[in-house]
A and B are shown apart, each in its own frame.
Chain A
Amino acid sequence: MVIEGLFYTEEHEWAKVNGNTATIGITHHAQEMLGEITFVELPAVGKEVEQKGELAVVESSKAASDVYSPVTGMVTKVNSDLESTPEQINQDCYNAGWICTMKITDVSTIDNLMDSKKYEEYLKGL
Protein backbone atom coordinates (compact mmCIF):
# COMPACT_ATOMS: atom_id res chain seq x y z
CA MET A 1 0.00 0.00 0.00
CA VAL A 2 1.58 3.22 -1.23
CA ILE A 3 -0.09 6.64 -1.05
CA GLU A 4 0.10 9.09 -3.92
CA GLY A 5 1.49 12.53 -3.20
CA LEU A 6 3.95 11.44 -0.50
CA PHE A 7 7.72 11.13 -0.82
CA TYR A 8 9.56 7.92 0.10
CA THR A 9 13.02 6.71 1.08
CA GLU A 10 14.75 3.44 0.34
CA GLU A 11 14.61 2.73 4.08
CA HIS A 12 10.79 2.85 3.92
CA GLU A 13 10.07 6.20 5.53
CA TRP A 14 7.46 8.53 4.05
CA ALA A 15 7.33 12.33 4.10
CA LYS A 16 4.31 14.49 3.40
CA VAL A 17 5.69 17.84 2.32
CA ASN A 18 3.74 21.07 2.69
CA GLY A 19 5.89 24.12 1.93
CA ASN A 20 8.87 23.84 4.25
CA THR A 21 7.08 21.49 6.68
CA ALA A 22 7.19 17.70 6.47
CA THR A 23 5.18 15.06 8.33
CA ILE A 24 7.12 11.84 8.71
CA GLY A 25 6.28 8.20 9.27
CA ILE A 26 7.17 4.68 8.16
CA THR A 27 5.52 2.93 5.24
CA HIS A 28 3.07 0.05 5.13
CA HIS A 29 5.90 -2.18 3.95
CA ALA A 30 8.08 -1.20 6.92
CA GLN A 31 5.37 -1.86 9.53
CA GLU A 32 4.52 -5.16 7.85
CA MET A 33 8.16 -6.27 8.07
CA LEU A 34 8.40 -5.30 11.74
CA GLY A 35 5.22 -7.03 12.86
CA GLU A 36 3.42 -5.90 15.99
CA ILE A 37 5.06 -2.65 17.08
CA THR A 38 5.26 -2.36 20.87
CA PHE A 39 7.54 0.62 21.42
CA VAL A 40 8.46 3.89 19.71
CA GLU A 41 11.29 6.15 20.80
CA LEU A 42 10.29 9.60 19.62
CA PRO A 43 12.81 12.35 18.87
CA ALA A 44 13.02 15.44 21.07
CA VAL A 45 11.25 18.51 19.74
CA GLY A 46 13.94 20.88 18.50
CA LYS A 47 16.29 18.08 17.47
CA GLU A 48 18.17 18.97 14.32
CA VAL A 49 18.86 16.08 12.02
CA GLU A 50 20.45 15.62 8.63
CA GLN A 51 18.83 13.62 5.87
CA LYS A 52 19.39 9.88 6.63
CA GLY A 53 20.31 10.73 10.24
CA GLU A 54 18.76 8.77 13.14
CA LEU A 55 15.37 10.23 13.94
CA ALA A 56 13.42 7.63 15.96
CA VAL A 57 13.46 3.94 16.91
CA VAL A 58 10.52 1.64 16.25
CA GLU A 59 10.57 -1.71 18.02
CA SER A 60 8.58 -4.90 17.73
CA SER A 61 9.25 -8.05 19.70
CA LYS A 62 11.41 -9.23 16.82
CA ALA A 63 13.50 -6.17 15.97
CA ALA A 64 14.55 -2.63 16.85
CA SER A 65 14.56 -0.54 13.72
CA ASP A 66 15.95 2.96 13.25
CA VAL A 67 13.80 5.52 11.51
CA TYR A 68 16.02 7.78 9.41
CA SER A 69 15.10 11.32 8.58
CA PRO A 70 13.88 11.69 4.97
CA VAL A 71 14.96 15.36 4.92
CA THR A 72 17.37 17.72 6.63
CA GLY A 73 15.53 19.79 9.21
CA MET A 74 14.37 20.31 12.77
CA VAL A 75 11.73 18.36 14.68
CA THR A 76 8.77 20.62 15.44
CA LYS A 77 6.13 18.21 16.80
CA VAL A 78 6.00 14.55 17.80
CA ASN A 79 3.07 12.12 17.90
CA SER A 80 3.16 11.37 21.62
CA ASP A 81 0.08 9.09 21.26
CA LEU A 82 2.55 6.51 19.99
CA GLU A 83 4.10 6.23 23.46
CA SER A 84 0.98 4.49 24.78
CA THR A 85 -0.46 3.17 21.52
CA PRO A 86 2.47 2.28 19.27
CA GLU A 87 0.23 -0.14 17.36
CA GLN A 88 -1.28 2.89 15.59
CA ILE A 89 1.67 2.51 13.21
CA ASN A 90 0.49 -0.99 12.31
CA GLN A 91 -3.12 0.09 12.02
CA ASP A 92 -2.76 3.36 10.14
CA CYS A 93 0.84 4.10 9.24
CA TYR A 94 0.07 7.00 6.88
CA ASN A 95 -2.31 8.90 9.20
CA ALA A 96 -2.68 8.19 12.94
CA GLY A 97 0.73 6.47 12.87
CA TRP A 98 2.70 9.62 11.91
CA ILE A 99 5.88 9.97 13.97
CA CYS A 100 6.81 13.66 13.86
CA THR A 101 6.70 16.86 11.87
CA MET A 102 9.83 18.71 10.80
CA LYS A 103 10.75 22.14 9.56
CA ILE A 104 12.79 21.45 6.44
CA THR A 105 15.98 23.52 6.59
CA ASP A 106 17.39 22.22 3.31
CA VAL A 107 14.57 21.83 0.77
CA SER A 108 16.98 20.42 -1.82
CA THR A 109 17.06 17.18 0.23
CA ILE A 110 13.50 16.51 -1.00
CA ASP A 111 14.94 15.94 -4.48
CA ASN A 112 16.67 12.80 -3.19
CA LEU A 113 13.33 11.14 -2.34
CA MET A 114 11.17 8.87 -4.47
CA ASP A 115 7.62 9.69 -5.49
CA SER A 116 4.90 7.06 -5.02
CA LYS A 117 5.39 5.57 -8.49
CA LYS A 118 9.13 5.18 -8.08
CA TYR A 119 8.68 3.74 -4.59
CA GLU A 120 6.18 1.19 -5.86
CA GLU A 121 8.69 0.08 -8.48
CA TYR A 122 11.39 0.00 -5.84
CA LEU A 123 9.23 -2.30 -3.68
CA LYS A 124 8.67 -4.65 -6.62
CA GLY A 125 12.41 -4.97 -7.06
CA LEU A 126 13.05 -6.03 -3.46
Chain B
Amino acid sequence: MAKNDSLGRFLFNSNEKAAVGSILYEQHLKLIEKNRIAEFAGYLMPLWFSSISAEHSAVRESAGLFDCTHMGILEFEGDCAQSLLNTITTNDTGRLKVGSAQYSYILDAAGNVLDDIIVYRRAEKKFMVVVNAANEPKIKAYLEALQNDEAILDIEEPARKLDYIPVIRDMRDCNRGSDCRVDIALQGPVSMKLLFSMIKGAETKQRFQDLRPFNLIETELDGIDCIISRTGYTGSKIGYELFVHPEKAAKLWALLLEKGKPFGILPCGLGARDSLRVEAGLPLYGHELAGEFNISPFEAGYGWAVKLEKDFFIGRAAMHKKAECCDMQVARIELSGQKGIRPVRGHDGVLDEKGTCIGWVLSCAKAGEKQVAMAYISKEIIEENRPVGLYYLARNKGQIEKGKKDKVEKNERLEPDISGRIVARFAKF
Protein backbone atom coordinates (compact mmCIF):
# COMPACT_ATOMS: atom_id res chain seq x y z
CA MET B 1 0.00 0.00 0.00
CA ALA B 2 1.41 3.35 -0.98
CA LYS B 3 2.00 5.95 1.66
CA ASN B 4 1.48 8.72 -0.89
CA ASP B 5 -1.74 10.57 -1.57
CA SER B 6 -3.33 10.73 -5.03
CA LEU B 7 -1.01 13.62 -6.00
CA GLY B 8 2.07 11.65 -5.08
CA ARG B 9 2.73 13.50 -1.83
CA PHE B 10 4.36 11.39 0.85
CA LEU B 11 2.17 11.28 3.94
CA PHE B 12 3.86 11.30 7.29
CA ASN B 13 2.47 11.88 10.77
CA SER B 14 5.11 12.59 13.33
CA ASN B 15 4.69 11.17 16.79
CA GLU B 16 6.02 13.84 19.07
CA LYS B 17 8.16 12.28 21.74
CA ALA B 18 9.43 13.97 24.88
CA ALA B 19 12.65 15.84 24.13
CA VAL B 20 15.91 14.25 25.24
CA GLY B 21 19.21 15.94 25.98
CA SER B 22 21.72 15.96 23.14
CA ILE B 23 24.75 13.71 23.57
CA LEU B 24 26.62 16.79 24.80
CA TYR B 25 23.92 17.80 27.30
CA GLU B 26 26.09 17.15 30.36
CA GLN B 27 28.87 19.21 28.81
CA HIS B 28 26.48 22.10 28.25
CA LEU B 29 25.28 22.02 31.85
CA LYS B 30 28.86 22.66 32.93
CA LEU B 31 28.70 25.98 31.09
CA ILE B 32 25.10 27.20 31.35
CA GLU B 33 21.93 26.93 33.43
CA LYS B 34 19.04 24.77 32.25
CA ASN B 35 16.95 27.81 31.29
CA ARG B 36 19.35 28.46 28.38
CA ILE B 37 18.51 25.07 26.96
CA ALA B 38 15.43 24.65 24.80
CA GLU B 39 13.63 21.93 22.94
CA PHE B 40 14.52 21.68 19.26
CA ALA B 41 13.53 18.82 16.97
CA GLY B 42 13.13 16.46 19.92
CA TYR B 43 16.43 17.42 21.56
CA LEU B 44 17.32 19.74 24.40
CA MET B 45 19.79 22.13 22.79
CA PRO B 46 21.64 25.21 24.03
CA LEU B 47 20.24 28.56 22.84
CA TRP B 48 23.33 30.55 23.68
CA PHE B 49 26.32 30.27 25.98
CA SER B 50 27.72 33.82 26.20
CA SER B 51 25.42 35.86 23.92
CA ILE B 52 24.20 35.44 20.36
CA SER B 53 26.17 38.49 19.18
CA ALA B 54 29.42 37.41 20.89
CA GLU B 55 29.11 33.91 19.41
CA HIS B 56 28.25 35.32 15.98
CA SER B 57 31.36 37.54 16.08
CA ALA B 58 33.54 34.68 17.31
CA VAL B 59 32.65 32.65 14.21
CA ARG B 60 33.41 35.58 11.90
CA GLU B 61 36.66 36.61 13.61
CA SER B 62 37.97 33.46 15.32
CA ALA B 63 35.85 30.30 15.41
CA GLY B 64 32.81 28.81 17.08
CA LEU B 65 32.00 25.28 18.18
CA PHE B 66 28.51 23.92 17.56
CA ASP B 67 26.69 20.93 18.96
CA CYS B 68 25.21 19.35 15.82
CA THR B 69 24.88 15.90 17.38
CA HIS B 70 21.13 16.09 16.82
CA MET B 71 21.57 16.03 13.03
CA GLY B 72 20.56 12.74 11.44
CA ILE B 73 23.35 10.70 9.83
CA LEU B 74 22.46 7.78 7.59
CA GLU B 75 24.75 5.41 5.78
CA PHE B 76 24.06 3.89 2.38
CA GLU B 77 26.42 1.06 1.61
CA GLY B 78 26.65 -1.59 -1.05
CA ASP B 79 27.18 -2.25 -4.74
CA CYS B 80 24.15 -0.21 -5.68
CA ALA B 81 24.44 2.59 -3.13
CA GLN B 82 25.47 5.16 -5.72
CA SER B 83 22.73 4.44 -8.24
CA LEU B 84 20.16 4.15 -5.47
CA LEU B 85 21.13 7.59 -4.14
CA ASN B 86 20.95 8.91 -7.66
CA THR B 87 17.30 7.83 -7.75
CA ILE B 88 16.29 9.26 -4.37
CA THR B 89 18.29 12.51 -4.44
CA THR B 90 18.18 15.37 -6.95
CA ASN B 91 21.89 16.02 -7.42
CA ASP B 92 24.12 13.73 -9.48
CA THR B 93 25.86 11.19 -7.25
CA GLY B 94 27.61 9.88 -10.38
CA ARG B 95 29.73 13.05 -10.32
CA LEU B 96 30.55 12.65 -6.65
CA LYS B 97 34.16 11.57 -6.14
CA VAL B 98 35.34 9.55 -3.16
CA GLY B 99 36.31 12.06 -0.44
CA SER B 100 33.86 14.70 -1.55
CA ALA B 101 30.38 15.87 -0.68
CA GLN B 102 27.41 17.46 -2.42
CA TYR B 103 24.35 19.44 -1.42
CA SER B 104 21.15 17.77 -2.56
CA TYR B 105 17.44 17.20 -1.95
CA ILE B 106 15.15 14.31 -1.20
CA LEU B 107 11.77 14.82 -2.87
CA ASP B 108 8.54 12.88 -2.90
CA ALA B 109 6.89 11.87 -6.17
CA ALA B 110 4.90 15.13 -6.18
CA GLY B 111 8.14 17.11 -6.13
CA ASN B 112 7.77 18.36 -2.56
CA VAL B 113 11.05 18.80 -0.76
CA LEU B 114 11.18 16.32 2.13
CA ASP B 115 14.61 17.54 3.20
CA ASP B 116 17.77 19.24 2.07
CA ILE B 117 20.79 17.07 2.71
CA ILE B 118 24.50 16.67 2.22
CA VAL B 119 25.70 13.44 0.63
CA TYR B 120 29.28 12.43 1.49
CA ARG B 121 31.07 9.76 -0.51
CA ARG B 122 33.44 8.02 1.92
CA ALA B 123 34.37 5.15 -0.39
CA GLU B 124 33.35 3.84 -3.79
CA LYS B 125 30.40 2.01 -2.26
CA LYS B 126 29.92 3.86 1.02
CA PHE B 127 27.96 7.08 1.43
CA MET B 128 27.00 9.14 4.45
CA VAL B 129 23.91 11.33 4.26
CA VAL B 130 23.35 14.13 6.77
CA VAL B 131 19.72 15.13 7.22
CA ASN B 132 18.05 17.83 9.29
CA ALA B 133 17.23 16.81 12.85
CA ALA B 134 13.65 18.01 12.44
CA ASN B 135 13.20 15.88 9.31
CA GLU B 136 15.03 12.76 10.40
CA PRO B 137 11.92 10.79 11.52
CA LYS B 138 10.17 11.65 8.24
CA ILE B 139 13.17 10.72 6.10
CA LYS B 140 13.60 7.43 7.95
CA ALA B 141 9.90 6.64 7.42
CA TYR B 142 10.23 7.57 3.75
CA LEU B 143 13.27 5.36 3.23
CA GLU B 144 11.49 2.53 5.01
CA ALA B 145 8.48 3.01 2.74
CA LEU B 146 10.83 2.87 -0.25
CA GLN B 147 12.42 -0.31 1.08
CA ASN B 148 9.00 -1.91 1.58
CA ASP B 149 7.73 -0.84 -1.81
CA GLU B 150 5.18 1.42 -0.12
CA ALA B 151 6.07 4.72 -1.76
CA ILE B 152 5.33 5.90 -5.26
CA LEU B 153 8.44 6.79 -7.24
CA ASP B 154 6.94 8.30 -10.35
CA ILE B 155 3.48 9.82 -10.74
CA GLU B 156 3.72 9.51 -14.51
CA GLU B 157 4.67 5.85 -14.26
CA PRO B 158 3.12 4.50 -11.04
CA ALA B 159 4.40 0.99 -11.68
CA ARG B 160 8.02 2.14 -11.50
CA LYS B 161 9.96 0.32 -8.80
CA LEU B 162 13.36 0.73 -7.21
CA ASP B 163 15.97 -1.42 -8.94
CA TYR B 164 17.63 -2.17 -5.65
CA ILE B 165 16.53 -2.46 -2.08
CA PRO B 166 18.77 -0.13 -0.13
CA VAL B 167 20.72 -1.09 2.97
CA ILE B 168 20.51 1.89 5.25
CA ARG B 169 22.12 2.28 8.66
CA ASP B 170 21.57 4.94 11.32
CA MET B 171 25.13 6.03 12.02
CA ARG B 172 24.26 7.72 15.30
CA ASP B 173 23.15 4.40 16.79
CA CYS B 174 25.99 3.26 19.07
CA ASN B 175 24.86 -0.34 18.90
CA ARG B 176 25.97 -0.54 15.31
CA GLY B 177 29.67 -1.05 15.87
CA SER B 178 32.70 1.20 15.98
CA ASP B 179 31.94 3.26 12.87
CA CYS B 180 29.23 5.35 14.42
CA ARG B 181 29.11 9.10 14.10
CA VAL B 182 27.66 12.32 15.42
CA ASP B 183 28.32 15.80 14.07
CA ILE B 184 30.21 18.60 15.84
CA ALA B 185 30.94 21.71 13.79
CA LEU B 186 33.93 24.01 14.14
CA GLN B 187 33.41 27.10 12.00
CA GLY B 188 35.48 30.21 11.40
CA PRO B 189 38.89 31.40 10.21
CA VAL B 190 41.04 29.95 13.00
CA SER B 191 39.42 26.51 12.89
CA MET B 192 42.04 25.36 10.38
CA LYS B 193 44.95 26.29 12.65
CA LEU B 194 43.42 24.54 15.65
CA LEU B 195 42.62 21.30 13.85
CA PHE B 196 46.01 21.37 12.12
CA SER B 197 47.68 21.35 15.55
CA MET B 198 45.69 18.26 16.55
CA ILE B 199 46.59 16.17 13.50
CA LYS B 200 49.70 13.97 13.51
CA GLY B 201 52.01 13.22 10.62
CA ALA B 202 53.28 15.57 7.94
CA GLU B 203 51.41 13.81 5.14
CA THR B 204 48.03 13.90 6.91
CA LYS B 205 48.61 17.50 7.95
CA GLN B 206 49.24 18.35 4.32
CA ARG B 207 46.12 16.53 3.18
CA PHE B 208 44.10 18.40 5.79
CA GLN B 209 45.54 21.74 4.76
CA ASP B 210 44.75 21.01 1.12
CA LEU B 211 41.14 20.12 1.93
CA ARG B 212 38.85 22.12 -0.35
CA PRO B 213 35.23 23.08 0.39
CA PHE B 214 32.94 20.05 0.23
CA ASN B 215 35.83 17.62 0.65
CA LEU B 216 36.58 15.29 3.52
CA ILE B 217 39.35 13.24 5.05
CA GLU B 218 39.28 10.49 7.67
CA THR B 219 41.93 10.84 10.32
CA GLU B 220 42.49 11.34 14.05
CA LEU B 221 42.29 14.51 16.13
CA ASP B 222 44.55 14.05 19.17
CA GLY B 223 43.98 10.33 18.80
CA ILE B 224 40.20 10.54 18.34
CA ASP B 225 39.00 8.90 15.13
CA CYS B 226 37.23 11.53 13.05
CA ILE B 227 35.81 12.32 9.63
CA ILE B 228 36.73 15.95 8.92
CA SER B 229 34.69 17.57 6.21
CA ARG B 230 35.00 21.14 5.01
CA THR B 231 31.30 21.87 5.17
CA GLY B 232 29.09 23.93 7.44
CA TYR B 233 26.09 26.15 7.89
CA THR B 234 27.62 29.51 8.73
CA GLY B 235 28.90 30.84 5.39
CA SER B 236 32.49 30.68 6.71
CA LYS B 237 35.06 30.10 3.99
CA ILE B 238 36.94 28.06 6.54
CA GLY B 239 34.82 25.74 8.61
CA TYR B 240 34.55 22.06 9.33
CA GLU B 241 32.13 19.41 10.42
CA LEU B 242 33.70 16.71 12.56
CA PHE B 243 32.00 13.33 12.55
CA VAL B 244 33.03 11.46 15.66
CA HIS B 245 31.90 8.35 17.54
CA PRO B 246 29.03 9.28 19.92
CA GLU B 247 31.02 7.98 22.88
CA LYS B 248 33.96 10.22 22.00
CA ALA B 249 31.88 13.32 21.27
CA ALA B 250 32.06 14.79 24.79
CA LYS B 251 35.82 14.28 24.90
CA LEU B 252 36.33 15.97 21.53
CA TRP B 253 33.99 18.83 22.45
CA ALA B 254 35.85 19.52 25.71
CA LEU B 255 39.23 19.20 24.00
CA LEU B 256 38.33 21.66 21.25
CA LEU B 257 37.02 24.18 23.76
CA GLU B 258 40.14 23.89 25.90
CA LYS B 259 42.58 24.08 23.00
CA GLY B 260 40.52 26.76 21.29
CA LYS B 261 40.49 29.11 24.26
CA PRO B 262 43.74 30.90 23.37
CA PHE B 263 42.30 31.49 19.88
CA GLY B 264 39.08 33.01 21.25
CA ILE B 265 36.95 30.08 20.14
CA LEU B 266 33.51 30.08 21.78
CA PRO B 267 30.86 27.40 22.16
CA CYS B 268 27.81 28.49 20.15
CA GLY B 269 24.11 27.79 20.54
CA LEU B 270 21.12 27.65 18.22
CA GLY B 271 20.76 31.45 18.30
CA ALA B 272 24.11 32.14 16.63
CA ARG B 273 23.61 29.18 14.33
CA ASP B 274 20.50 30.91 13.02
CA SER B 275 21.95 34.43 12.79
CA LEU B 276 25.04 33.14 10.96
CA ARG B 277 23.13 31.11 8.42
CA VAL B 278 20.72 33.99 7.76
CA GLU B 279 23.60 36.44 7.29
CA ALA B 280 25.14 34.01 4.79
CA GLY B 281 21.83 33.47 2.99
CA LEU B 282 21.59 29.74 3.72
CA PRO B 283 18.09 28.28 3.75
CA LEU B 284 16.46 26.58 6.71
CA TYR B 285 14.00 23.83 5.86
CA GLY B 286 10.49 25.03 6.67
CA HIS B 287 11.46 28.68 6.18
CA GLU B 288 13.42 29.34 2.96
CA LEU B 289 12.65 25.88 1.66
CA ALA B 290 9.30 24.00 1.64
CA GLY B 291 7.28 25.45 4.54
CA GLU B 292 4.07 27.40 4.18
CA PHE B 293 4.99 28.78 0.73
CA ASN B 294 6.18 25.35 -0.41
CA ILE B 295 9.38 26.99 -1.67
CA SER B 296 11.17 24.93 -4.30
CA PRO B 297 14.94 24.57 -4.70
CA PHE B 298 14.69 26.82 -7.76
CA GLU B 299 13.00 29.57 -5.79
CA ALA B 300 15.50 29.11 -2.94
CA GLY B 301 18.42 29.73 -5.30
CA TYR B 302 19.60 26.14 -5.56
CA GLY B 303 18.36 25.06 -8.97
CA TRP B 304 21.90 23.77 -9.69
CA ALA B 305 21.41 21.03 -7.11
CA VAL B 306 18.44 19.62 -9.05
CA LYS B 307 19.85 17.82 -12.08
CA LEU B 308 16.86 17.72 -14.39
CA GLU B 309 19.08 16.22 -17.09
CA LYS B 310 19.33 12.96 -15.11
CA ASP B 311 17.19 10.17 -16.61
CA PHE B 312 15.19 9.84 -13.47
CA PHE B 313 14.96 10.80 -9.83
CA ILE B 314 11.95 10.79 -7.54
CA GLY B 315 10.01 14.02 -8.12
CA ARG B 316 11.70 14.78 -11.46
CA ALA B 317 8.50 15.29 -13.47
CA ALA B 318 7.13 17.75 -10.94
CA MET B 319 10.50 19.53 -10.68
CA HIS B 320 10.50 20.10 -14.43
CA LYS B 321 7.32 22.14 -14.07
CA LYS B 322 8.57 24.02 -11.03
CA ALA B 323 11.76 24.98 -12.85
CA GLU B 324 9.72 26.69 -15.54
CA CYS B 325 7.19 28.62 -13.51
CA CYS B 326 8.57 30.48 -10.61
CA ASP B 327 7.76 34.16 -10.33
CA MET B 328 8.74 34.32 -6.67
CA GLN B 329 12.25 33.91 -5.34
CA VAL B 330 14.19 34.04 -2.10
CA ALA B 331 16.25 37.22 -1.80
CA ARG B 332 18.56 38.56 0.87
CA ILE B 333 17.88 42.03 2.24
CA GLU B 334 20.05 44.23 4.44
CA LEU B 335 18.51 46.68 6.86
CA SER B 336 19.88 48.83 9.60
CA GLY B 337 19.83 47.13 12.95
CA GLN B 338 21.25 49.44 15.56
CA LYS B 339 19.87 49.26 19.04
CA GLY B 340 16.51 50.93 19.22
CA ILE B 341 15.41 49.73 15.79
CA ARG B 342 12.51 47.32 15.96
CA PRO B 343 13.65 43.88 14.75
CA VAL B 344 12.12 42.67 11.49
CA ARG B 345 10.36 39.30 11.83
CA GLY B 346 9.00 36.52 9.67
CA HIS B 347 5.81 37.43 7.73
CA ASP B 348 6.54 41.18 7.80
CA GLY B 349 5.72 42.68 4.39
CA VAL B 350 8.34 43.58 1.79
CA LEU B 351 7.39 46.62 -0.32
CA ASP B 352 8.67 48.04 -3.60
CA GLU B 353 9.48 51.74 -4.11
CA LYS B 354 5.78 52.54 -4.53
CA GLY B 355 4.76 50.78 -1.32
CA THR B 356 3.23 47.77 -3.06
CA CYS B 357 3.66 44.54 -1.15
CA ILE B 358 5.84 42.19 -3.21
CA GLY B 359 6.25 39.40 -0.67
CA TRP B 360 7.14 38.48 2.88
CA VAL B 361 10.09 38.11 5.22
CA LEU B 362 10.98 34.46 5.91
CA SER B 363 13.77 34.88 8.47
CA CYS B 364 15.67 37.81 9.90
CA ALA B 365 18.68 38.07 12.16
CA LYS B 366 21.00 40.64 13.61
CA ALA B 367 24.55 40.73 12.33
CA GLY B 368 26.55 43.47 14.04
CA GLU B 369 24.83 46.80 13.44
CA LYS B 370 22.82 45.37 10.57
CA GLN B 371 19.78 43.20 10.21
CA VAL B 372 19.84 40.65 7.44
CA ALA B 373 16.59 39.16 6.22
CA MET B 374 15.69 36.49 3.74
CA ALA B 375 12.41 37.19 1.99
CA TYR B 376 10.15 35.51 -0.55
CA ILE B 377 9.48 38.22 -3.13
CA SER B 378 8.57 38.82 -6.79
CA LYS B 379 11.46 37.69 -8.94
CA GLU B 380 11.18 40.66 -11.32
CA ILE B 381 11.98 43.08 -8.48
CA ILE B 382 15.20 41.36 -7.48
CA GLU B 383 18.24 43.38 -8.37
CA GLU B 384 21.24 44.04 -6.17
CA ASN B 385 21.16 47.35 -4.31
CA ARG B 386 17.53 47.98 -5.15
CA PRO B 387 15.82 49.67 -2.20
CA VAL B 388 12.84 47.98 -0.57
CA GLY B 389 10.54 48.95 2.27
CA LEU B 390 9.54 46.79 5.19
CA TYR B 391 6.16 46.76 6.89
CA TYR B 392 6.12 45.56 10.49
CA LEU B 393 3.13 43.39 11.27
CA ALA B 394 1.38 44.05 14.56
CA ARG B 395 3.34 42.53 17.43
CA ASN B 396 0.38 42.52 19.82
CA LYS B 397 -3.33 43.32 20.17
CA GLY B 398 -2.73 46.96 21.07
CA GLN B 399 -0.98 47.56 17.76
CA ILE B 400 -3.87 45.97 15.85
CA GLU B 401 -6.23 48.35 17.62
CA LYS B 402 -4.03 51.22 16.45
CA GLY B 403 -4.47 50.04 12.85
CA LYS B 404 -1.43 47.81 12.29
CA LYS B 405 -2.20 44.73 10.23
CA ASP B 406 -1.38 41.26 11.49
CA LYS B 407 -1.19 39.87 7.97
CA VAL B 408 -0.42 41.45 4.58
CA GLU B 409 -1.25 40.27 1.09
CA LYS B 410 0.73 40.63 -2.10
CA ASN B 411 -0.08 43.78 -4.14
CA GLU B 412 -1.50 45.54 -1.08
CA ARG B 413 -0.41 49.21 -0.75
CA LEU B 414 1.31 49.89 2.57
CA GLU B 415 3.41 52.52 4.31
CA PRO B 416 6.95 51.27 4.91
CA ASP B 417 8.19 51.31 8.53
CA ILE B 418 11.85 51.02 7.60
CA SER B 419 13.84 50.68 4.43
CA GLY B 420 16.52 48.28 3.30
CA ARG B 421 18.14 47.12 0.11
CA ILE B 422 18.43 43.88 -1.78
CA VAL B 423 21.93 42.40 -1.58
CA ALA B 424 23.61 39.39 -3.18
CA ARG B 425 21.71 36.15 -2.63
CA PHE B 426 24.65 34.66 -0.67
CA ALA B 427 27.54 36.05 1.37
CA LYS B 428 30.85 34.38 2.23
CA PHE B 429 32.96 35.27 5.22
Residues of B near A39 (CB, < 8 A) are 339-343
Interface locus among A3-11, A19-27, A60-68, A108-116:
A60-68
Check if A73 is an interface residue, CB within 8 A of chain B. no
The answer to whether B271 touches A62 (Cβ under 8 A) is yes
Check if B53 is an interface residue, CB within 8 A of chain A. yes
Check if B251 is an interface residue, CB within 8 A of chain A. no
Interface residues of B in 324-342 (CB under 8 A from A): 337, 339-342
Check if B396 is an interface residue, CB within 8 A of chain A. yes
Known: A54-B398, A66-B396. A36 touches B337 (CB 8 A): no
**A interface residue numbers (CB < 8 A to B):** 29, 32-33, 35-36, 38-39, 41, 54, 57, 59-62, 64, 66, 83-87
Chain B nearest CB, measured from A31 CB (Å): 12
The tally of CB-CB contacts under 8 A between chains A and B is: 56
- Chain B: interface residue total (CB-CB under 8 A): 22
The answer to whether A41 touches B342 (Cβ under 8 A) is yes
For B339, B365, B396, the residue with the greatest tally of chain A CB atoms inside 10 Å of its CB is B339
Known: A54-B398, A64-B396. A86 touches B48 (CB 8 A): no
Instruction: Select which of A35, A41, A83, A87 is within 8 A of B48 by beta carbon.
Output: A35
For B35, B53, B275, B396, the residue with the greatest tally of chain A CB atoms inside 10 Å of its CB is B396
- List the B residue with the shortest CB-CB distance to A87: B339
Check if B261 is an interface residue, CB within 8 A of chain A. no
Chain B nearest CB, measured from A74 CB (Å): 16
Check if B151 is an interface residue, CB within 8 A of chain A. no
Residues of B near A35 (CB, < 8 A) are 47-48, 51-52, 271
Residues of B near A64 (CB, < 8 A) are 343, 345, 395-396
Check if B160 is an interface residue, CB within 8 A of chain A. no
Chain A nearest CB, measured from B202 CB (Å): 45
Known: A54-B397, A59-B395, A64-B396. A84 touches B340 (CB 8 A): yes
Instruction: Select which of A32, A38, A62 is within 8 A of B339 by beta carbon.
Output: A38
Check if B366 is an interface residue, CB within 8 A of chain A. yes
Instruction: Tell me the complex Cα distance, A12–B51, Å.
Output: 21
Residues of A near B35 (CB, < 8 A) are 29, 32-33
Known: A35-B48, A36-B53. A59 touches B366 (CB 8 A): no
Instruction: Tell me the complex Cα distance, A25–B345, Å.
Output: 24
The answer to whether A38 touches B398 (Cβ under 8 A) is no
Instruction: Tell me the complex Cα distance, A54–B400, Å.
Output: 12
Chain B nearest CB, measured from A32 CB (Å): 7
Question: Which 8 interchain pairs have the tightest Cβ spacing?
Answer: A64-B395, A54-B398, A39-B342, A61-B366, A84-B340, A66-B396, A83-B340, A59-B343
